[in-house]
Amino acid sequence: MEEGSIALGEALIIGQTVRGRSVFAPRDFGAGSFIIEFGGERFGRDEYISLVDPDNNHFLQIDRNLFLGPTETADNFINHSCDPNCGLRVEAGRAYLFAIRPIAGGDEITFDYSTSMDEDFWEMRCRCGSAACRGRVGDFKHLPVETRDRYMALGAVPEFILSGLGNKPAVAGMIIETRAGAGFSSATGEARAALQAS
């Protein structure tokens, strides 16, 4: 196992930025490192649509008709970026973030919400501030082809999204260490907090 690739049960840092509560790395992580598992109660699509606050969406889609609800742990406060340092992986009904590039201690943890979205429902205006900012965040299928290809090459696109595109799942290039029953703090993207649907 590469150094820095296991972070089981390790607490991430929840801080405050202009975008609201945000999550930061407590130390350096190498590319491919496990970062956090998302927790939250499971809801079907109809329940999600009836429960979600579009201006403060803390749900995370993990299958065509399955969403993880809000939590009160770090996973709930991870912000979107159009140039993220983490990617999403969904395996056996569980959702994880892993580093898609080296992360330094103190860096904000981010992922691209579009890599979790194939829902034909919610969108948000993006203010991530990256040079690559798309301005809006919506379903993965609406991303530019080169952006989709990059996330697929990183193994950061869940199978339910790939199958919706008619693509075969990408072969995972990195192994994410998990441990059954480990006490990860988990959650769903309250990072979505700082976001606005318009």
| Residue 118, Cβ density class (10 Å: 0-12 exposed, 13-18 middle, ≥19 buried) | buried
User: 191 phi and psi, to 5 degrees?
Assistant: -45, -30
Residue that the structure tokens 């109809």 belong to = 46
Q: Which is nearer to Zn ion, 73 or 79 (CB)?
A: 79
Give yes or no for a contact between 115 and 149, defined as CB atoms under 8 angstroms apart.
no
The nearest distance, CB 137 to Zn ion, in angstroms, is 7
Q: Which is nearer to Zn ion, 98 or 111 (CB)?
A: 111
The nearest distance, CB 143 to Zn ion, in angstroms, is 12
Q: Which is nearer to Zn ion, 60 or 174 (CB)?
A: 60
User: 185 phi and psi, to 5 degrees?
Assistant: -80, 140
Q: Which is nearer to Zn ion, 82 or 99 (CB)?
A: 82
194: closest CA among 81, 83, 107?
Answer: 81
Hey, how many other C-beta atoms are within 10 angstroms of the C-beta on 186? 19
The nearest distance, CB 94 to Zn ion, in angstroms, is 27
Question: What's the rounded Cα separation, in Å, for the pair 75 and 187?
Answer: 4
The nearest distance, CB 18 to Zn ion, in angstroms, is 14
Q: Which is nearer to Zn ion, 126 or 157 (CB)?
A: 126
The nearest distance, CB 7 to Zn ion, in angstroms, is 26
Return the structure tokens found at 167: 């693509």
Instruction: Please report, as ranges, the residues that interact with Zn ion according to CB under 5 A.
Output: 82, 126, 128, 133
Return the structure tokens found at 66: 């399955």
